[in-house]
């Protein structure tokens, strides 16, 4: 039984005042939902902070609910076409657990429910008509909260109309509800896995989320030829230290998941208590790069306000041109090197 009420949570976890007060304030933009899988992990502060709400969510007045202005770049009702060659389709607003740092609070958990087949058809036609679109993210919410039947139909529609488009299956369910990936569901996915490839996009933020069950769920994709990439969010009190991020990357690689992005937490209203400064983020980025292989290193990235798009944040190793025409670099260890022109 998933947890949806503070009273249920109180019975298994002694709550702090600021956690209990979340409900009393009652203005949160995101419902409470904690899956069974997460319950044994709530004893870890890094997991608790991601899923147990606090009153700080309601007190944050800095952020904006739609900093990326996704609503201004809508191609069709549920399709956001912000980048020339790729688009994102919101399959549903539901998830198996709601992350308190969710950057899509404007939409998540607000009962708009699964995309109707007409909306899927409409999006597929839009994508087909815009042949510059090479990749589509099936996101949400979490597409795997849809029924097997709904997923089957959705993939049929997209694959039939857009056989040459790469679809990214974006999900946190492998971490928070791995039992979802039954033989039956995986058989449906396997049947549609022809033409342009699928990519699995996961969200693991802390090494403890890579439980045996989670790793098995990801393997069920990788074993049928679907590569897995992970997008983490840099979160204060969860993973804002080098050792945690290094352990996360190592565990991801062992699970055959390539660390892809490490996102700067967007300035979404209700998430200020998760924010890490960009200065500290850049310091972390520089430090972990020294310890991780190229395979293990995620790209530290910010999604700029007003639909500005994603930019990579990295320490600047190139320092410019010298007066005698050589290139000046700083090495990862902080030494100086010149590179002939």
Ligand X SMILES: *Cc1c(COP(=O)(O)O)cnc(C)c1O
Indicate if 86 belongs to the active site: yes
Smallest gap, in angstroms, from Cβ of residue 244 to ligand SF4? Answer: 19
Binding window for ligand SF4 (CB under 6 A); candidates: 38-46, 99-107, 181-189, 286-294:
99-107
Rounded Cα gap, residues 192 and 247, in angstroms: 34
CB 205 within 8 A of CB 232: yes
One residue of 87, 99, 154, 169 binding ligand SF4 per CB under 6 A: 99
Does 95 bind ligand SF4 (CB under 6 A)? Our answer is yes
φ/ψ of 264, rounded to 5, equals: -65, 130
Q: Would you tell me which residues interact with ligand X (CB under 6 A)?
A: 80, 82-83, 86, 88, 137, 310
One residue of 140, 178, 270, 281 binding ligand SF4 per CB under 6 A: 140
Residue 82 near which of ligand SF4, ligand X, none (CB within 5-8 Å, type-dependent): ligand X
Indicate if 95 belongs to the active site: yes
In the numeric block, the tokens 């899509």 are attached to 104
Report the site for ligand SF4 in 301-330 (rule: CB under 6 A): none
Among candidate residues 90, 266, 289, 300, the one labeled active-site is 266
Of 102 and 115, CB closest to ligand SF4:
102
- Per CB under 6 A, residues contacting ligand SF4 are 95, 98-99, 102, 104, 108, 140-142, 172
Q: Indicate which residues carry an active-site annotation.
A: 82-83, 86, 95, 99, 102, 104, 266, 303, 310
């Amino acid at each position: 039984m998933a947890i949806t009420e503070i009273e249920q949570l109180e019975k298994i976890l002694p709550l702090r005042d600021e956690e209990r007060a979340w409900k009393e304030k009652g203005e949160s933009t995101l419902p409470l939902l904690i899956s069974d899988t997460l319950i044994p992990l709530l004893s870890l502060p890094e997991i608790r902070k991601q899923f147990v709400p606090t009153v700080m969510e309601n007190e944050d007045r800095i952020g904006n609910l739609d900093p990326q202005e996704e609503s201004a770049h809508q191609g069709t009702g549920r399709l956001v076409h912000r980048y020339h060659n790729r688009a994102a389709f919101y399959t549903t607003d539901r998830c198996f657990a709601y992350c308190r740092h969710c950057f899509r609070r404007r939409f998540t958990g607000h009962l708009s429910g699964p995309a109707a087949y007409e909306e899927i058809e409409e999006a597929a036609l839009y994508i087909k008509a815009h042949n510059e679109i090479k990749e589509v993210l099936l996101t949400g919410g979490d597409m795997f909260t849809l029924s097997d039947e709904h997923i089957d139909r959705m993939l049929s529609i997209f694959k039939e109309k857009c056989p040459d488009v790469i679809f990214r299956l974006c999900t946190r369910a492998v971490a928070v509800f791995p039992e979802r990936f039954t033989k039956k569901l995986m058989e449906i996915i396997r049947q549609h896995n022809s033409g342009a490839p699928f990519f699995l996009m996961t969200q693991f933020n802390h090494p403890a989320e890579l439980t045996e069950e989670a790793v098995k769920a990801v393997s069920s994709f990788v074993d049928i030829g679907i590569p897995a990439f992970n997008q983490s969010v840099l979160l204060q009190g969860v993973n804002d230290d080098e050792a945690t991020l290094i352990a996360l990357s190592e565990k991801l690689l062992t699970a055959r998941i390539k660390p892809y992005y490490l996102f700067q937490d967007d300035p979404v209203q209700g998430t200020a208590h998760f924010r890490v400064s960009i200065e500290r983020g850049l310091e972390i980025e520089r430090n972990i790069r020294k310890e991780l292989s190229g395979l293990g290193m995620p790209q530290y990235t910010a999604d700029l306000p007003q639909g500005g798009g994603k930019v990579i944040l990295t320490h600047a190793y190139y320092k410019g041109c010298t007066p005698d025409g050589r290139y000046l670099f700083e090495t990862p260890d902080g030494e100086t090197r010149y590179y002939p022109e």
